[in-house]
Amino acid sequence: MTTRSRSAPATLVLTCEHAGNRIPRPYARLFAGERGVLASHRGWDPGALPLARLLARRLRRPLLSTTWSRLLVEANRSPTNPRIWSRFTKELPADERRLILERYWRPHRRAVEEAVAAAAARGGGAVHVAVHSFTPVMDGAVRSADVAFLFDSKRRCEADLARRWGALLRQRAPQLRVRYNYPYRGNTDGLPTALRRRHPEPCYAGFELEVNQALLSRPGWRRVGEALAASLAEALASASARRR
CATH code (residue 146)? 3.40.630.40
> Is residue 224, in this structure, part of any structural domain at all?
yes
> Is residue 6, in this structure, part of any structural domain at all?
no
CB 15 within 8 A of CB 113: no
CB-CB neighbours of 33 under 10 Å: 6
Looking at the 3D structure of the chain, how many domains does it have? 1
- pLDDT at position 244 is 60
> Is residue 2, in this structure, part of any structural domain at all?
no
Q: What is the mean pLDDT of residues 49-69?
A: 98
Per DSSP, helices labelled H in the chain are 35-39, 48-59, 94-100, 106-121, 156-172, 191-198, 213-216, 221-243
> Is residue 5, in this structure, part of any structural domain at all?
no
> Is residue 26, in this structure, part of any structural domain at all?
yes
pLDDT at 100 over 60: yes
The pLDDT-based confidence of 239 (bands split at 50, 70, 90) is confident
CB-CB neighbours of 14 under 10 Å: 23
Total length of the chain:
244
> Is residue 156, in this structure, part of any structural domain at all?
yes
**Domain with 193 in it:** 11-243
- pLDDT at position 243 is 64
Separation of alpha carbons 82 and 87, rounded Å: 11
> Is residue 131, in this structure, part of any structural domain at all?
yes
> Is residue 1, in this structure, part of any structural domain at all?
no
pLDDT digits (tens, 9 = 90+) for 104-140: 999 999 999 999 999 999 888 999 999 999 999 999 9
pLDDT digits (tens, 9 = 90+) for 196-236: 999 998 899 999 999 999 999 999 999 999 999 999 999 99
